[in-house]
Chain A
Amino acid sequence: MFLGVDWGAFVVVFLVALAATAVIVTSFALGIRAFAAGAEEPAGAGAGPGPGPGADGGTAAVAAGPVSRPAGATAAGLACFAVGVAAVLYGLWMIVPQFH
């Protein structure tokens, strides 16, 4: 306790939030990557690196033809997205006081 603040609690919040967010965002991004496997690079992908205006035109990327994706990649992608779903359910459990 210094200046009346429980600094340890802040450190705990920081570390847990960092770990949880890193796991969720990483698995979600890996899920995207797995689902994109086998697909050709979408047109215009090279043109807009990073958060440029080109990268935001997601509809073009979504609309690009059928995907020939290996079954393993599909399974891995689903597993990755499942982490996100589990996190959301846990979040709901934390929010709703009636659950605990």
Chain B
Amino acid sequence: MDVLVTVMLVIVVALVFDFTNGFHDTANAMATSVATGALRPKVAVLISAVLNLVGAFLSTEVASTVSNGLIREGEGGVQVTPVMIFAGLVGAVLWNLATWYLGLPSSSSHALFGGLIGAAVIGAGIGSVDFAVVLSKVVLPAIISPVVAGVVALVATYAAYRITRQATLRGSTAAFRHGQTVSASLVSLAHGTNDAQKTMGVITLTLIAAGYQGAGTGPQLWVIVACGLAIALGTYLGGWRIMRTVGKRITDVKAPQGFAAETSSAATILISSHLGFALSTTQVTSGSIVGAGLGAKLATVHWGVVGKIASAWVFTLPAAALVGGVSAWLASTSTAGLVVVALLALGGGLAFAFLARRHPVTHETVNDGDEAPAAAQPAGASRQQGE
């Protein structure tokens, strides 16, 4: 009975995590398209949602371990229990909601790794974490990916403006918008194939660990459908807060920059996954946008915003680990403790949702570029501004 409760809670929280993943990462693919007016906000999130759903069905091969080697799992290592997975997911979900509230893009995978690490440290001791792998698979890629994508986008933006005489040629803005829509769609599809799969892996490995499914088998159909729908729904509802930061506040993205940034992101993501070490979509697209800002004459990159995003990335792993650790500590006491963690997490999630409602960002206000927070204004006023 206890196992069943745990497994059910893991599945529910995993799907919530998948939802927040879509919610968070809509901005990666679609923020620039929304900012340049290439797509209307609602259309952009619909396209992205459908492509994420399609992507979820295209790629259903799950990893053999939940943590990708960050935790010494398997023979001679620790057993990652469903309770640890549950606690790790709680940490990841709460961190995703916190960064969403602050409007900061951050990697959902890193949040999940952080949560799992925290849970593993509490559940199995500090020795269960392979910090060399944390450095090589999490920390260093987080520094390198945005730089790589940023340099590529800088060169591409410079070329795009140079060749089209600063985009004054007839039809150039419209053409760049079309091109941008296509490359952003590729980013969305690639995201669906990568990220929905992670949640499928978590649920499948939990079912295997609990003995409900044979070892080494792939995800069941209902798991694929549920994960695809959760990430698509999250994408459709759209993390407008993050989208505004990415599309308008890092730099005010124009059509040639949007095209150059999305093309750089798509190329970097596809080539890295093709070579077997997929880079984080969030880190690549954020870097691309900074590069696109630097590559255009007269465009300003707001380094204050970039700094905030960078510090959010630094805190992602430790913060999610802290929540994951505390959750693991509480949840491992008894089934009652587990339920208490679930309720506390629900309360925390609702608190963020409530805070966000006090100064909402919607599809109507997503293109407000002012650095002055719309927070200070009543909701009605900022809505009028967006029109």
Contacts and interface: CB of A to CB of B under 8 A. Distances in A.
Given A17-B268, A58-B172, A29 B160 contact: yes
A32 B144 contact: no
A55 interface: yes
A43 B137 CA distance: 52
A46 interface: yes
Nearest to B132: A4
Interface string A29-67: 111110110010110011011111001111101101001
A18 B171 contact: no
B267 A20 contact: yes
Contact of B164 (A4, A32, A52): A32
B55 interface: yes
A55 to B, nearest CB: 5
Majority SS of interface residues in chain B?
Answer: helix
A26 B159 contact: yes
A16 B141 CA distance: 17
Given A36-B169, A67-B170, A97-B193, A24 B263 contact: yes
A95 B189 contact: yes
Interface in A1-23: 3-6, 9-10, 12-14, 16-18, 20-22
A56 B59 CA distance: 38
A84 B260 CA distance: 13
B154 to A, nearest CB: 10
A33 B298 contact: no
B132 A29 contact: no
A30 B61 CA distance: 40
A72 interface: no
B168 A46 contact: yes
A58 B177 contact: yes
Interface in B263-279: 263-264, 266-268, 270-275, 277, 279
B33 to A, nearest CB: 14
A28 B175 contact: yes
Given A51-B299, A56-B255, A95-B55, A17 B264 contact: yes
A29 B162 CA distance: 9
Contact of A18 (B58, B151, B182): B151
A55 B168 contact: yes
B61 A50 contact: no
B120 to A, nearest CB: 19
Given A4-B132, A41-B168, A91-B186, A61 B266 contact: no
Contacts of B296: 50-51
A93 to B, nearest CB: 10
A14 B175 contact: no
B152 interface: yes
B257 interface: yes
B151 A14 contact: yes
Given A45-B168, A97-B58, A51 B254 contact: yes
Contacts of A88: 182-183, 186
Contact of A50 (B140, B153, B161, B186): B161
Given A9-B277, A17-B271, A18-B152, A55 B254 contact: yes
B385 interface: no
Contact of A58 (B155, B173, B259, B275): B173
Contacts of A56: 36-37, 173, 254-255
A95 B136 contact: no
B163 A33 contact: yes
Contacts of B105: none
Contact of B171 (A3, A28, A57, A62): A62
A22 to B, nearest CB: 6
Given A91-B186, A95-B58, A51 B167 contact: yes
Interface of B: 36-37, 55, 58-59, 61, 132-133, 135-137, 140-141, 144, 148-149, 151-153, 155-156, 159-164, 166-177, 179, 182-183, 186, 189-190, 193, 252, 254-257, 259-260, 263-264, 266-268, 270-275, 277, 279, 296-299
Interface of A: 3-6, 9-10, 12-14, 16-18, 20-22, 24-26, 28-33, 35-36, 39, 41-42, 45-46, 48-52, 55-59, 61-62, 64, 67, 84, 88, 91-92, 94-98
